C-alpha cells in the first residue's frame, strides 16, 4: 500500500511538472513568434569521420534546444530564433565544445571536430557518472533501501527502474562504456535489450544470435470449404520451420585480428499444406455415350483420355460431383550472410551472400503429381569512400542466378498422346502427357504442368556521388544491368483442344466423344532459348532544404531498357503490309521484311531510348508551431519489363517452331487424332508485335495532408492520381463476328498482334487514422476509395499503375515494374476495329478497401495492470495481441461467351449480349443471373462490357498473440501464435462467368474457389 501511494504521489508530481513545462513552452513560443527564426545545422566529426549520438545543445537565457546527431554526424535546429546562442557539443569520452554563435538567415553549415579525452580523464568521468546515477536506481529514492518492496527487481519495469544485475552492467570492469555514451542516442540504457553496445556485459562475448522454431499442423485448423456442399475431410499436415542466426566481429588470431563484422542466418522449413478441390466430371453413363441427345459411340482417342478422369464421388449435386483432398509439400533451405569492414577513416566495404533451395510438389484434381525445384544465389559487394566531410562515393556490384526445373507427372513415364493415337503434337519423352481439354459447360479441364528447365542470371553495377553543400544534398548516379535468361521449355508442346458444341451443334461433351474439337492450338520447337537484355539508367537529384518549413526533392532520371535479343538470332516476327493485307515471317538472323522491304534490328523491335523521367516532391509545414504537414509529388515512371513476354512469344514461331491456332471448319477439318496438323488456309504464326512498340509510362501525382489530433491520434488524407500511356494492347486482325461474311477472304488471320496504344487512369482518395502507442494500445485505420479504368490487355500484371505503386530509392536505384507477383492473363480485344470498346474497369479496381490494425500489450499503465504482482503479474503481463482486418469490395470480372472467333482458333475474347435483366438477380444458390446474357446476334459482337461483373467481396481477419520471456541476462524466449482467417469466414475468390454457345453452363454464377479457412501456427525463438 505504501509503495502504491508513493507511486501515485510521484505520478501526480510528474503530471504537475508536465503542466508547468507546457505552460513555460507556451510562453516561450508566444514570445518567440514575433522573432525571426532560421535553420541552424551542422556536422560533428572525429578525425574526419561522422559521429552519431552526439548531444548538441543551443542555449539562450532560459531557452534551450537539444538535437542528436544522426548516422552521418548531421544535426539540425529547424526553428532557432535569430540572435546570439551558446552551442554546446557533448559526448562522453570526448572534450565538451562550447562556443557562442550568431544565428542569422542563410547561416552556413557548422563543423565541429571532437577531441578524445585521455584515459585517466575518461575513467574519472565514468566513475563520476556511476556515482551520480547509482542512487536513482531505487524506486523509493533511497540508495540504501534495497530490501524494501519497491526496490526489489520484480516484473514491473513499466513503472520503476529495477536495479540491474551485476553481469549486465553497461560498463566493463574498468568503467569504460562499450558504446562510448550512457546516453546512446538519447535512449535510456535501461530500456534497451541486451546486445552489443547497449546493456551487454563487458565480460561476455560480443556476439548476438537466435534460434527459432515454428510449428504448425492441422489439429486446430478448420475443415476446408467444400464447393460441392458435401463435408470434406480435413487432411493431416505438418509444418516445421527452424531459424538459426549469429552475428558479431569476425576475429581470427594471427590472421584477422581486426576482422569485419559478420551476420549469418540459416532457415529451413518442411511444409505440407492440405486443400480440397471440387469439380464436375463425366458420369459413368456419359462416358459410355449415353447423353440426353441420344447414344454416341466415343472415338478411340476420347476413350483413352476419359480414363484420366476420376469417377464422381459426390452424389445428389449436379453442379460439383467430385471432390478430393490434396496435400502439397515444400522443402526450403535458405542461407543469408553479411560482412562489413571499415578501413582507415575514409573507406567502408560491405556485402552479402544469399542462397535458397526449394523443392516442392503439388497435385491437381486428377491426381497428377508435378514437382518444382528452384535454386538461387544472390551476392553483392559495396564500397563507400569519403573524400571529405561533404563528398561521398558509393559503388556496388550485384550478381544473382536462379534455376527452376519443373517435372510434369508423365515426363519420361507414359506417352499418353502416342498411346491414344493423337498425332501432330510433340512426342519427346520430356513432353509426354495428355493434351489440354477445355469444355464450355463447366466440365473440369484436363491439364498438367509443362516440363521446363529455366536459368536466369543478372549482373549489375551501380555508382553514385553524394555532395552536401549548404541547404543542398545532391546525388548523381547511374546503373547498368545485364540480364540473361536461358529457357529450355516449350509453350504448348502437348496442344490444346477446346469444345463448345459448335462442331456438331449439340453439347461440348458430345463433340468430345465424337472427337471433333471446335478449336485446336499448339506451339513447340526451338526449345532452348538464350535471351539477353541490357538496362541502363542515370539520375541526378537534389534534396533542397529551402526553408526550415519547406523541403523540395527534385531531379530527373533517364532509363533505357533495350529490346531483348536472342543469342543465336532465333526470334521471329511478322513483316506486315499496310492494312494487314499480307504477312510474312521475318527472322532476327536475316531481319529484312519481304512484304515491306524494311530493315529491322536484330531484336525485331526498334529501341525506345526516350525514357526521360522528371520527378519532384515537397514537404511543407504551412503553420509555424503546428503539426500540419503537406506533402506533394509528381513523377514519371517507365515500364521496361514489357519485353520479356514478347521475346518468349517471338521465340516460339514458325519457321523455328510449329505454332498453330486453328478453327474446325470444312476448309480445315480437325479431329482429336489429327487436330494439330496445319492447313494451307491459316497463318503459320500465332503472334506478331508492332516493330515500333514503345515502352509504356505512368504519370503519378499525389497530395497528402497530415495533422495531429487529440487523444494521441494522427490523421492523414491522401489523393493519388495516375495516368498510364502507351500500355500493351492485343487484338486479332482481319476477324469478324460470328455469322458475318468474311470482308477480306484473302487477308491473313489467326495471329495475335501486340501494340502499345493502350491508356489507363486511376484516382484514389484515402483517409488514415493512427493512434500512437499509449498505455499499451496502438491502432491504425485506413480507408481507400478508388476507381481504375483502362483499355490495356495486361494492366495489373505489368501495367503502368504497377510502376507507380512500387517503392523506389528516390530517383536512383532500380525501379520494379510489377505490383503483383502473379501476372494477369492477357486479354485479347473482341473487335479489332473498335479498341475503344475495350475500355472498362481495371482488373484490380477495388472500389472500397478498409484496412484496420489493432495492437494491445497487457501490463502497461496503472489501468493496464502494471502494478500486478505475484503469479497474476507473471501470467497476465507483457502479452501483445495484434489483429489485422481487411475488408473490400470485389474485383471486376468479364463475362465470356466461349466460342471460336471466326477465321481463327482463338477462344475467350467474345462477350455475350445483354438482355436487360439484372446480372445480380440470381436464382437461389447462385450469385449471378445467366438470364442477363444471351448469345450475340448473327453478324454482331456482344455488347457486354469488359470487367462489368463485380466479383465476391473480400474479408479477412488475421490475429497473433506474442510474448517475450526474459530467461537470463542475454537470453530471451519469444513465443508467437499466428492465426489466419480467425473467424473461419468463407471468402470466395471469383464467380464462374463463362457462357457456352448453348447457354447451358450449369456452373455459371457459382463460386470457382474459396480461400483457405482458419489455420494456426506457433513460433518459438531463443535470442541471445
User: What stretches of 436-517 adopt beta strand conformation (E)?
Assistant: 436-439, 452-469, 472-489, 492-499
Per-residue pLDDT at 234: 65
- Paired with 143 in beta bridges are none
What the block records as the C-alpha cell of 133 is: 546515477
Check if the beta carbon of residue 892 is closer than 8 Å to that of residue 949: yes
Task: In whole angstroms, give the CA distance from residue 830 to residue 937.
Answer: 14
User: What percent of the chain is helix, strand and coil (3-state, nearest 5)?
Assistant: 10, 45, 45
Nearest to 468 by CA among 881, 119, 108: 108
Task: In whole angstroms, give the CA distance from residue 512 to residue 985.
Answer: 39
pLDDT in tens, 434-477: 999 999 888 999 999 999 999 999 999 999 999 999 899 999 99
Which residues, including other chains, have CB under 8 Å from residue 918's CB and lie 6 or more apart?
A: 929, 932
Per-residue pLDDT at 1022: 83
pLDDT in tens, 366-401: 999 999 999 999 999 999 999 998 999 999 999 999
Q: What percent of the chain has pLDDT over 70?
A: 80
Task: In whole angstroms, give the CA distance from residue 609 to residue 337.
Answer: 38
Matching residue, cell 499466428: 978
Nearest to 448 by CA among 404, 403, 483, 413: 413
**With 60 as the cut, is the pLDDT of residue 241 above it?**
yes
- For residue 1010, give the 3-state DSSP assignment: strand
Per-residue pLDDT at 125: 54
**With 90 as the cut, is the pLDDT of residue 175 above it?**
no
Per-residue pLDDT at 315: 83
CA angle 743, 747, 750 (to 5 degrees): 100
* Banded pLDDT at 823 (limits 50, 70, 90): very low
Give, for 119, the enclosing helix (H) or strand (E).
helix 119-133
Per-residue pLDDT at 273: 75
Per-residue pLDDT at 824: 43
Phi-psi region of 153 (alpha: psi -120 to 50; beta: other; left: phi over 0): beta
What the block records as the C-alpha cell of 573 is: 516476327
* Banded pLDDT at 124 (limits 50, 70, 90): low
Q: Where are the alpha helices (DSSP H) in 336-485?
A: 416-420
* Banded pLDDT at 130 (limits 50, 70, 90): very low
Per-residue pLDDT at 551: 94
Per-residue pLDDT at 165: 35
**With 50 as the cut, is the pLDDT of residue 76 above it?**
yes
- For residue 574, give the 3-state DSSP assignment: strand
What the block records as the C-alpha cell of 431 is: 513432353
Check if the beta carbon of residue 684 is closer than 8 Å to that of residue 676: no
Per-residue pLDDT at 104: 65
What the block records as the C-alpha cell of 839 is: 475500355
Q: Report strand pairing: 369-388 vs 391-407.
A: antiparallel
Report the pLDDT averaged over residues 321-327.
Answer: 85
**With 60 as the cut, is the pLDDT of residue 196 above it?**
no
Check if the beta carbon of residue 528 is closer than 8 Å to that of residue 487: yes
What the block records as the C-alpha cell of 777 is: 494500445
Per-residue pLDDT at 660: 85
pLDDT in tens, 951-1007: 999 999 999 999 988 887 778 888 888 888 889 888 999 999 999 888 878 889 999
Per-residue pLDDT at 802: 31
pLDDT in tens, 474-525: 999 999 999 999 999 999 999 999 998 877 778 899 999 999 999 899 999 9
Q: Which residue has the higher pLDDT, 1024 or 343?
A: 343
Report the pLDDT averaged over residues 347-353.
Answer: 94
Per-residue pLDDT at 839: 93
Q: Which residue has the higher pLDDT, 240 or 960?
A: 960
Rounded mean pLDDT of the chain?
A: 81
Question: What DSSP letter does each residue of 893-959 carry, written as one string?
Answer: E--EE--BPTTSS-BS----EE-SS-TT-PPTT-SS-GGGEEPPPTT----PPTT-EE---EEEEEE
Per-residue pLDDT at 874: 76
**With 90 as the cut, is the pLDDT of residue 15 above it?**
no
Per-residue pLDDT at 999: 81
Amino acid at each position: 500500500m505504501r509503495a502504491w501511494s508513493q507511486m501515485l504521489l510521484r505520478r501526480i508530481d510528474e503530471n504537475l511538472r508536465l503542466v508547468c513545462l507546457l505552460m513555460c513552452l507556451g510562453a516561450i513560443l508566444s514570445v518567440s513568434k514575433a522573432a525571426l527564426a532560421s535553420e541552424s545545422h551542422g556536422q560533428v566529426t572525429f578525425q574526419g569521420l561522422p559521429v552519431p549520438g552526439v548531444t548538441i545543445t543551443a542555449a539562450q537565457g532560459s531557452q534551450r534546444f537539444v538535437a542528436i546527431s544522426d548516422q552521418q554526424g548531421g544535426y539540425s535546429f529547424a526553428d532557432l530564433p535569430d540572435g546570439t546562442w551558446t552551442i554546446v557539443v557533448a559526448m562522453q569520452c570526448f572534450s565538451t565544445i562550447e562556443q557562442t554563435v550568431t544565428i542569422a538567415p542563410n547561416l552556413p553549415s557548422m563543423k565541429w571536430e571532437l577531441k578524445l579525452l585521455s584515459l585517466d580523464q575518461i575513467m574519472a568521468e565514468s566513475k563520476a557518472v556511476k556515482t551520480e546515477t547509482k542512487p536513482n536506481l531505487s524506486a523509493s529514492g533511497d540508495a540504501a533501501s534495497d530490501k524494501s518492496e519497491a526496490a526489489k527487481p520484480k516484473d514491473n519495469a513499466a513503472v520503476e527502474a529495477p536495479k540491474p544485475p551485476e553481469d549486465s552492467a553497461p560498463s566493463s570492469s574498468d568503467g569504460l562504456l562499450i558504446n562510448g555514451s550512457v546516453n546512446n542516442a538519447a535512449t535510456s540504457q535501461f530500456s534497451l535489450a541486451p546486445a552489443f553496445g547497449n546493456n551487454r556485459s563487458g565480460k561476455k562475448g560480443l556476439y548476438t544470435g537466435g534460434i527459432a522454431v515454428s510449428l504448425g499442423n492441422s489439429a486446430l485448423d478448420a475443415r476446408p470449404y467444400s464447393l460441392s456442399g458435401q463435408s470434406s475431410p480435413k487432411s493431416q499436415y505438418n509444418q516445421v520451420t527452424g531459424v538459426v542466426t549469429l552475428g558479431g566481429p569476425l576475429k581470427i588470431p594471427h590472421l584477422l585480428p581486426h576482422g569485419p563484422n559478420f551476420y549469418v542466418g540459416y532457415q529451413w522449413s518442411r511444409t505440407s499444406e492440405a486443400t480440397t478441390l471440387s469439380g464436375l466430371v463425366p458420369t459413368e453413363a456419359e462416358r459410355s455415350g449415353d447423353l440426353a441427345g441420344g447414344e454416341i459411340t466415343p472415338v478411340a482417342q476420347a476413350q483413352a483420355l476419359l480414363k484420366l478422369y476420376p469417377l464422381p464421388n459426390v452424389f445428389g449435386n449436379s453442379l460439383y460431383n467430385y471432390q478430393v483432398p490434396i496435400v502439397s509439400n515444400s522443402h526450403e533451405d535458405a542461407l543469408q550472410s553479411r560482412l562489413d569492414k571499415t578501413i582507415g577513416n575514409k573507406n567502408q566495404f560491405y556485402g552479402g551472400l544469399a542462397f535458397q533451395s526449394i523443392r516442392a510438389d503439388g497435385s491437381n484434381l486428377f491426381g497428377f503429381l508435378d514437382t518444382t525445384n528452384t535454386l538461387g544465389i544472390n551476392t553483392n559487394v559495396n564500397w563507400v569512400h569519403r573524400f571529405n566531410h561533404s563528398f561521398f562515393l558509393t559503388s556496388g556490384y550485384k550478381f544473382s542466378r536462379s534455376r527452376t526445373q519443373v517435372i510434369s507427372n508423365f515426363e519420361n513415364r507414359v506417352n499418353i498422346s502416342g498411346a491414344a493415337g493423337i498425332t501432330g503434337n510433340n512426342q519427346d519423352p520430356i513432353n509426354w502427357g495428355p493434351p489440354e481439354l477445355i469444355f464450355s459447360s463447366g466440365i473440369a479441364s484436363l491439364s498438367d504442368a509443362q516440363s521446363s528447365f529455366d536459368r536466369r542470371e543478372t549482373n549489375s553495377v551501380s555508382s553514385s556521388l553524394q555532395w552536401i553543400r549548404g541547404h543542398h544534398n545532391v546525388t548523381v548516379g547511374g546503373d547498368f544491368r545485364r540480364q540473361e535468361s536461358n529457357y529450355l521449355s516449350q509453350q504448348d508442346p502437348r496442344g490444346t483442344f477446346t469444345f463448345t458444341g459448335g462442331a456438331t451443334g449439340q453439347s461440348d461433351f458430345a463433340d468430345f466423344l465424337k472427337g471433333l474439337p471446335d478449336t485446336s492450338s499448339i506451339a513447340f520447337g526451338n526449345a532452348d532459348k538464350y535471351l539477353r537484355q541490357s538496362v541502363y539508367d542515370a539520375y541526378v537529384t537534389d534534396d533542397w532544404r529551402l526553408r526550415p518549413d519547406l523541403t523540395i526533392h527534385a531531379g530527373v532520371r533517364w532509363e533505357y531498357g533495350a529490346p531483348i535479343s536472342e543469342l543465336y538470332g532465333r526470334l521471329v516476327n511478322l513483316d506486315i503490309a499496310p492494312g494487314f493485307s499480307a504477312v510474312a515471317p521475318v527472322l532476327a538472323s536475316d531481319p529484312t521484311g519481304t512484304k515491306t522491304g524494311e530493315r529491322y534490328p536484330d531484336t525485331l523491335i526498334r529501341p525506345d531510348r526516350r525514357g526521360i523521367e522528371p520527378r519532384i516532391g515537397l514537404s511543407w509545414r504551412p503553420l509555424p508551431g503546428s503539426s500540419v504537414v503537406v506533402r506533394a509529388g509528381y513523377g514519371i515512371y517507365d515500364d521496361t519489363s514489357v519485353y520479356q513476354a514478347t521475346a518468349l512469344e517471338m521465340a516460339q514461331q514458325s519457321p523455328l517452331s510449329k505454332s498453330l491456332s486453328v478453327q474446325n471448319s470444312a476448309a480445315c477439318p480437325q479431329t482429336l487424332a489429327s487436330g494439330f496438323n496445319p492447313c494451307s488456309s491459316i497463318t503459320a504464326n500465332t503472334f506478331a508485335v508492332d516493330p515500333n512498340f514503345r515502352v509504356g509510362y505512368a504519370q503519378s501525382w499525389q497530395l497528402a495532408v497530415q495533422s495531429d489530433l487529440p487523444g494521441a491520434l494522427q490523421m492523414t488524407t491522401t489523393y493519388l492520381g495516375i495516368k498510364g500511356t502507351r500500355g500493351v494492347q492485343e487484338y486479332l486482325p482481319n476477324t469478324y463476328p460470328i455469322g458475318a461474311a468474311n470482308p477480306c477472304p484473302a487477308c491473313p488471320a489467326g495471329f495475335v498482334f501486340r501494340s502499345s496504344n493502350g491508356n489507363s487512369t486511376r484516382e484514389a482518395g484515402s483517409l488514415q487514422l493512427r493512434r500512437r502507442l499509449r498505455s499499451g494500445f496502438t491502432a491504425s485505420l485506413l480507408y481507400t476509395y478508388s476507381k481504375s479504368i483502362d483499355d490495356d490487355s495486361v494492366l495489373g500484371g505489368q501495367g503502368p499503375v504497377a510502376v507507380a505503386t512500387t517503392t523506389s530509392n528516390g530517383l536512383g536505384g532500380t525501379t520494379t515494374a510489377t505490383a503483383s507477383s502473379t501476372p494477369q492473363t492477357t486479354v485479347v480485344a473482341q473487335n479489332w476495329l473498335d479498341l475503344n470498346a475495350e475500355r472498362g474497369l481495371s482488373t484490380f479496381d477495388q472500389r472500397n478497401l478498409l484496412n484496420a490494425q489493432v495492437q494491445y500489450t497487457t501490463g502497461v499503465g496503472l489501468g493496464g495492470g502494471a502494478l500486478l504482482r505475484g503469479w497474476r503479474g507473471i501470467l497476465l503481463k507483457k502479452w501483445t495481441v495484434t489483429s489485422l482486418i481487411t475488408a473490400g469490395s470485389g474485383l471486376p470480372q468479364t463475362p465470356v461467351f466461349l466460342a471460336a472467333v471466326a477465321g481463327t482458333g482463338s477462344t475467350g475474347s467474345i462477350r455475350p449480349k445483354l438482355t436487360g435483366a439484372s446480372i445480380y438477380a440470381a436464382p437461389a444458390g447462385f450469385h449471378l443471373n445467366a438470364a442477363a446474357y444471351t448469345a450475340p446476334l448473327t453478324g454482331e459482337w456482344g455488347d457486354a462490357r469488359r470487367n462489368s461483373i463485380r466479383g465476391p467481396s473480400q474479408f479477412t481477419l488475421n490475429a497473433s498473440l506474442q510474448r517475450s520471456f526474459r530467461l537470463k541476462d542475454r537470453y530471451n524466449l519469444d513465443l508467437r501464435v499466428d492465426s489466419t482467417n480467425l473467424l473461419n469466414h468463407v471468402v470466395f475468390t471469383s464467380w464462374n462467368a463463362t457462357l457456352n454457345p448453348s447457354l447451358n453452363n450449369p456452373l455459371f454464377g457459382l463460386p470457382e474457389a474459396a480461400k483457405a479457412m482458419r489455420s494456426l501456427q506457433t513460433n518459438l525463438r531463443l535470442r541471445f
